[in-house]
Structure 1
């Protein structure tokens, strides 16, 4: 399993109470499941559906080393030691 850095932004950071921490996993799905296990309050903000056919909420953007996983293998995207995952909720303002 890879050890990666997770960075949370906006209200996700507020809910978790921290903005950066390490998690382990082999895929983005593993990392996100570990995230909601560590911070159950994030579950409804990250996943629309879990189980056999998990789906990330449509308004959440997940980046692996600066690349949106929507342009990769999505939840099946593999992670490696030292990778960085950023999770961005929608934000507004001006």
Structure 2
């Protein structure tokens, strides 16, 4: 199953930094992740739409705009809030 790494606020909400989650595409992975950690749903989504600030990388490649992005058993899905500095 794909491995999901959560960063910053998302890690705090879930109480873990890494978890295996079933899914053949990002939409399924996110749905199953939110089923495991229901508080993430309200953070990730506004209704059925992924919030603009949620950043998603699959094996280091930006996959943010494509929830149909296919994932495999060996993939690493990284989900993090925007990074800012000053």
| Alignment TM-score, normalising by the size of structure 1 | 0.84
Kindly tell me the number of residue pairs found equivalent between the two proteins: 86
Q: Does 1:49 align with 2:43?
A: no
Number of the residue aligned with 1:89 = 81
Structure 1: state its 5+ residue gaps.
none
Residue 93 of structure 1: CA displacement? 4.2
User: In the alignment, which of 27, 36, 39 is matched to residue 37 of structure 2?
Assistant: 39
Does the Cα contact within 8 Å between 1:26 and 1:80 map onto a contact in 2?
A: yes
RMSD of equivalent CA atoms: 1.4
Does the Cα contact within 8 Å between 1:10 and 1:91 map onto a contact in 2?
A: no
Residue 49 of structure 1: CA displacement? 2.6
Does the Cα contact within 8 Å between 1:62 and 1:87 map onto a contact in 2?
A: yes
Which aligned segments of 4 or more residues in structure 1 are displaced greater than 6 angstroms?
none
Number of the residue aligned with 2:23 = 25
Equivalent runs, 1:45-84 vs 2, <5 Å: 45-50=43-48, 55-70=49-64, 74-84=66-76
Structure 2: state its 5+ residue gaps.
none
From the two aligned structures, give the one with the greater strand fraction.
Answer: 1
Distance between the aligned counterparts of 2:42 and 2:84, measured in 1? Answer: 20
- Cα deviations by residue, 1:35-87 (Å, 9 ceiling, x for unpaired): 1100001111111232xxxx21101101111111136xx10011111100000
| Alignment TM-score, normalising by the size of structure 2 | 0.91
